[in-house]
């Protein structure tokens, strides 16, 4: 192909080869896409979670720079890889020691991020990004925590000849709602729900209800968080109220 005899012709020819190669590299760039789930990833507080993100068609990205960021934070970096090394100094302190990517998976173009010991503050929108290819994708992480409520007898209501029940449930995220139900599953009107947020960002909720003789003997406290689809219930029997 490359004739050395016609030296004066080989320059434009190798230039056109160069241009062709550049164009081809450029069009390859446009071909691979980063694929991330369109539905939010739901994780429980304290668990580990994978934020999926991979190249299609697959390209070995072991030697590529990679960035996982959260645009709403400062600094934005959650996980950064440069020159085959994970950079730790530039990332947000909240993520120190909790993020990793799998080297084996990078060979398959899979830049999914493993996030350990999930915290409520991890909830948000993440971006995976490959600077060299200038492509990125977004992954939404929803964080939830739930635990069963505890019902206790809080007092007697002499006027109404009823008893006051109290429901208490700790360790929720996001903030849940509390409902009281009678034995037939009908909603009871209760006092306002008290909500306290702990230092770990988790919510404790408590609620009181006065139950009267006309009600059945069985009562349920239901704590419910709709956005993470979590429901916990505890039932109590209040005997001997004749």
Binding site for ligand NAG (CB under 6 A): 50, 52, 54, 102, 105, 110, 112, 114, 168, 170, 177, 204, 206, 224, 226
Q: Please tell me the distance from the alpha carbon of residue 222 to that of residue 193, in angstroms, as a whole number.
A: 12
**Tokens 């209040």, located at residue:** 238
| Minimum distance, C-beta of residue 120 to ligand NAG, in the bound complex (Å) | 18
- Helix residue ranges, H only, 50-195: 103-106
Cα angle, residue 200 at apex, residues 194 and 202 outer, rounded to 5°: 35
Residue 121 or 227 having the CB closest to ligand NAG: 227
| Minimum distance, C-beta of residue 56 to ligand NAG, in the bound complex (Å) | 9
| Minimum distance, C-beta of residue 139 to ligand NAG, in the bound complex (Å) | 12
Structure tokens at 208: 């009181």
| Minimum distance, C-beta of residue 13 to ligand NAG, in the bound complex (Å) | 42
Rg over CA atoms, the chain: 29
Residue 52 or 120 having the CB closest to ligand NAG: 52
| Minimum distance, C-beta of residue 105 to ligand NAG, in the bound complex (Å) | 4
Structure tokens at 105: 């998976």
Whether 81 contacts 100, CB under 8 Å: no
Q: Please tell me the distance from the alpha carbon of residue 31 to that of residue 151, in angstroms, as a whole number.
A: 58
Residue 40 or 217 having the CB closest to ligand NAG: 40
Residue 188 or 217 having the CB closest to ligand NAG: 188
106 phi/psi in degrees, rounded to 5: -60, -35
| Minimum distance, C-beta of residue 231 to ligand NAG, in the bound complex (Å) | 8
| Minimum distance, C-beta of residue 18 to ligand NAG, in the bound complex (Å) | 35
Q: Please tell me the distance from the alpha carbon of residue 225 to that of residue 129, in angstroms, as a whole number.
A: 32
Residues 207-222 as b/e (b if ≥16 CB within 10 A, e otherwise) read bbbbbeeebeeebbbb
Whether 130 contacts 111, CB under 8 Å: yes
Residue 203 or 219 having the CB closest to ligand NAG: 203
Residue 52 or 124 having the CB closest to ligand NAG: 52
Residue 53 or 211 having the CB closest to ligand NAG: 53
């Amino acid at each position: 192909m490359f004739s050395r005899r016609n030296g004066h012709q080989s320059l434009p020819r190798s230039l056109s080869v160069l241009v062709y190669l550049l164009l081809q590299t450029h069009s390859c760039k446009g071909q691979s896409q980063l694929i991330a789930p369109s539905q939010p990833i739901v994780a429980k507080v304290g668990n580990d979670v994978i934020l999926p993100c991979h190249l299609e068609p697959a390209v070995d990205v072991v030697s590529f720079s990679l960035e996982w960021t959260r645009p709403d934070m400062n600094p934005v970096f959650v996980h950064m890889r440069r020159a085959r090394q994970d950079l730790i100094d530039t990332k947000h302190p909240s993520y120190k020691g909790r993020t990793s990517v799998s080297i084996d998976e990078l060979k398959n173009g899979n830049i999914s991020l493993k996030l350990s010991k999930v915290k409520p503050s991890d909830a948000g929108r993440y971006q995976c990004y490959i600077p060299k290819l200038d492509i990125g994708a977004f992954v939404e992480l929803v964080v939830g925590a739930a635990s069963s409520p505890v019902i206790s007898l809080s007092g007697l209501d002499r006027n109404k000849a009823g008893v006051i029940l109290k429901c208490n449930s700790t360790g929720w995220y996001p903030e849940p709602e509390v409902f009281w139900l009678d034995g037939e599953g009908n909603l009871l009107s209760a006092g306002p729900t008290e909500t306290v947020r702990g230092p770990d960002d988790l919510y404790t909720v408590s609620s009181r209800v006065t139950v009267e003789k006309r009600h059945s003997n069985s009562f349920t406290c239901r704590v419910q968080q709709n956005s993470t689809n979590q429901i916990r219930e505890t039932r109590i029997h209040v005997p001997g109220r004749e």
